[in-house]
Amino acid sequence: MLEIHDIHTYYGSIHALKGVSLEVLEGEIVTLIGSNGAGKSTTVSSITGTAPASSGSIIFNGQDITKMKSCNITRLGIGVSPEGREVFGGLSVQDNLQIGAFTRKNKKEIAASYEEVYDLFPRLKERRKQSAGTLSGGEQQMLAIGRALMSKPKLLLLDEPSMGLAPNLVEMIFELIVKINKTGVTILLIEQNANMALQIADRGYVLETGRVTLSDSAKALQTNDDVRKAYLGSA
Ligand code: ATP
């Protein structure tokens, strides 16, 4: 579904991605783990067109999206829940969700998507008129994911969905990610919480200073000594 071939991405003179290659097959949950500054968010931004790669290629369902505009990438079926959530605090929950559907026109289908999102996140339904800025951290994360789902993505990019959440909420968010995947949405999950991410993922990639240093099944990564030492807090 998604094939990234040897991409290099720069912020001015900063060489953030130094030849990243990875692939996500339809139906999978693939996780990208790595420490602060490894380039995880930049990988997401290169896929979504907000930090386009200067060389290499990104192919989505056979189409080259490397240099495509973000809104067209959304139209093709890539949704993103960004790092830090970025909900519109002054707007209601419902209005935030509506923004997520900006690429769509069919009102009936959009109405069905609201129902799907509210079924997944009943808490958002209860709070649909509440300003997003007054939601708890966990609720804002649900809203960011819900907003991404409103574009009806085939591939959902989740950038650090567990960040800043209490352990019980982290568990709930991960359960929801599995549930979303079971509805047929392919997932690329960016996480610092490698432990949780590898528990739900099919495969994983380890990113270090802009390079993929390891890729394997999630099971194999969980038992890999280097991964355990560096990312799972055990030897
Ligand atoms: P974190 O887990 O801390 O979010 P990350 O793995 O997502 O880290 P990135 O945010 O992709 O890492 O950052 C990769 C590198 O690019 C870092 O050296 C970072 O300082 C740099 N970088 C990221 N965004 C920008 C930007 N807008 N301008 C300049 N440099 C940036």
Ligand 1 pocket member 36 (CB < 6 A) = yes
Ligand 1 pocket member 41 (CB < 6 A) = yes
Q: Is residue 126 part of a domain?
A: no
Per-residue pLDDT, 218: 96
Q: Is residue 45 part of a domain?
A: yes
Q: Is residue 60 part of a domain?
A: yes
> By alpha-carbon position, which residue is closest to atom 10 of ligand 1?
41
Report pTM: 0.92
Ligand 1 pocket member 40 (CB < 6 A) = yes
**Integer Cα distance of 56 and 232 in angstroms:** 31
Ligand 1 pocket member 35 (CB < 6 A) = no
- Lookup result for tokens 């085939």: 154
Q: Is residue 127 part of a domain?
A: no
Ligand 1 pocket member 68 (CB < 6 A) = no
Q: How many CB atoms lie within 10 A of CB 112?
A: 12
Q: CA Rg, the chain, in Å? A: 17
Q: For the chain (length 235 residues), average pLDDT per consecutive 10?
A: 98 96 98 93 96 97 96 94 84 91 86 91 91 89 93 95 86 93 97 92 96 96 89 70
- 223 Ramachandran zone, left/alpha/beta (phi>0; psi -120 to 50): alpha
Atom of ligand 1 nearest to the CA of 159: 7
Per-residue pLDDT, 175: 93
Beta bridge partners of 206: 33, 214
**Integer Cα distance of 123 and 108 in angstroms:** 23
Name the helix (H) or strand (E) containing 22.
strand 14-24
Per-residue pLDDT, 87: 84
Per-residue pLDDT, 229: 86
Give me ligand 1 centre to Cα 233, in Å: 23
Interacting residues of 192 by C-beta distance below 8 A, sequence separation 6+: 33, 35, 36, 160, 162, 163
Q: Is residue 106 part of a domain?
A: no
Return the CATH number at 193. Answer: 3.40.50.300
Q: Is residue 135 part of a domain?
A: no
Per-residue pLDDT, 89: 85
**Domain coverage including residue 185:** 2-86+153-231
**Integer Cα distance of 222 and 201 in angstroms:** 11
Per-residue pLDDT, 15: 97
- Lookup result for tokens 């790669």: 53
- Coil, helix or strand at residue 33: strand
> By alpha-carbon position, which residue is closest to atom 23 of ligand 1?
42
CB 170 within 8 A of CB 193: yes
Q: For the chain, how many structural domains are there in total?
A: 1
Q: Is residue 97 part of a domain?
A: no
For residue 128, give the amino acid letter. R
Interacting residues of 117 by C-beta distance below 8 A, sequence separation 6+: 97, 124, 146, 149, 150
Per-residue pLDDT, 234: 61
Give me ligand 1 centre to Cα 13, in Å: 13
Per-residue pLDDT, 182: 96
**Integer Cα distance of 108 and 206 in angstroms:** 41
- Lookup result for tokens 């996500």: 24
Q: Is residue 165 part of a domain?
A: yes
